[in-house]
Structure 1
Amino acid sequence: MPDDPLIAIKTGALYFALIFALGFVLGTIRVLWLAPMAGETLAVLTELPIMLTASWFGARGMVRRHKLKVMRDRAVMGAVALLLLFIVELLMAVLLFGQTLQAWLTGVITMPGPIGLAGQILFGLMPLLVPKPRSPNLPV
């Protein structure tokens, strides 16, 4: 159905909002409770499967609901969501936590940053990885 790029952009923004909300809650638990007990890397490794599972179901639901059958639309959805994630994370780091751009980038490339970055990239790719919605006229 949608060959309208705006639908893919809006769907990417919705996908971002859904997963970011969960990530905000889990990230708070990770930073305040889990990381002090288990260490940063183990805390990120504990959170990652939950976030990727949520990303799978979120992307699948959005792709089906908005009937994004064309891979280009699904790629746009994932790219928009990933771009929004990077922008919001950078803004939060700078405005809420007083980090510099350099400190934020250093956090991305030093452990456990690469683990989180890999998860974020998978989040952005998830709309391409979930099954294509079936046509309602085709037999199951």
Structure 2
Amino acid sequence: MSNLPTRTIKAGIMYFALVFGTGFVLGSIRVPFLVPRLGERVAELIEMPLMFVVVLVSARFITKHFNLPANVLARLGAGFLALGLLVAAEVLLAVVLQDRTLGEFVASRDPVSGIVYLAMLALFAVMPLVLARVGSASHV
């Protein structure tokens, strides 16, 4: 298999693609069907547990598929690359497709679901490392 930096980059790109793709599909269900009935906050909060499972499964997949060692640099490298790509994609979509400025995009976030979203982003970035730590603790 390729060297570790290449595997880490490939893992980060795949991690982004899996989570962003699933989030895009869920968003295309949430926005037209749940938001009008339940409101933005409740609709986003309903989606969060599903996205948590997607993050968990995707992180587990990329760490095994790309054979990432349980070290901090490889795991956080993949996670933070994926996070950077995810944030860039979301901002790009907001600015291009929704014709918003970056400030309007940030200001439009619901204060409650927005905080949960930020926590999910942090968890998304560190999940490959968390899985390494949890995995090593279960082997003790």
TM-score w.r.t. structure 2 length? 0.86
Once residues 28 and 118 of structure 1 are traced to their aligned partners in structure 2, the CA distance between those partners, rounded to angstroms, is 22
Aligned to 1:91: 92
Once residues 78 and 26 of structure 2 are traced to their aligned partners in structure 1, the CA distance between those partners, rounded to angstroms, is 23
Deviations 1:21-75 (A, max 9, x none): 1100101111111111111111111100111111101101110111111221010
2:41–2:110 CA contact under 8 A, matched in 1: no
Whichever residue aligns with residue 113 of structure 1, its letter is: G
- For 1:130, what is the secondary structure of its paired residue? helix
Once residues 71 and 98 of structure 1 are traced to their aligned partners in structure 2, the CA distance between those partners, rounded to angstroms, is 38
Q: Greater helix share, 1 or 2?
A: 2
**Structure 2 runs not aligned, ≥5 long:** 136-140
- TM-fit CA distance, 1:106: 1.6
Runs of 4+ residues deviating >2 angstroms: 1-4, 107-112
Percent of aligned positions that are identical: 38
Q: 1:26 to 1:84 in 2, by over 3 A?
A: same
- TM-fit CA distance, 1:18: 0.8
Q: 1:125 to 1:2 in 2, by over 3 A?
A: farther
Aligned to 1:107: 108
Aligned to 2:131: 130
Whichever residue aligns with residue 4 of structure 1, its letter is: L
Q: What aligned pairs does 1:62-77 form with structure 2 within 5 A after superposition?
A: 62-69=62-69, 70-77=71-78
RMSD of equivalent CA atoms: 2.3
TM-score w.r.t. structure 1 length? 0.86
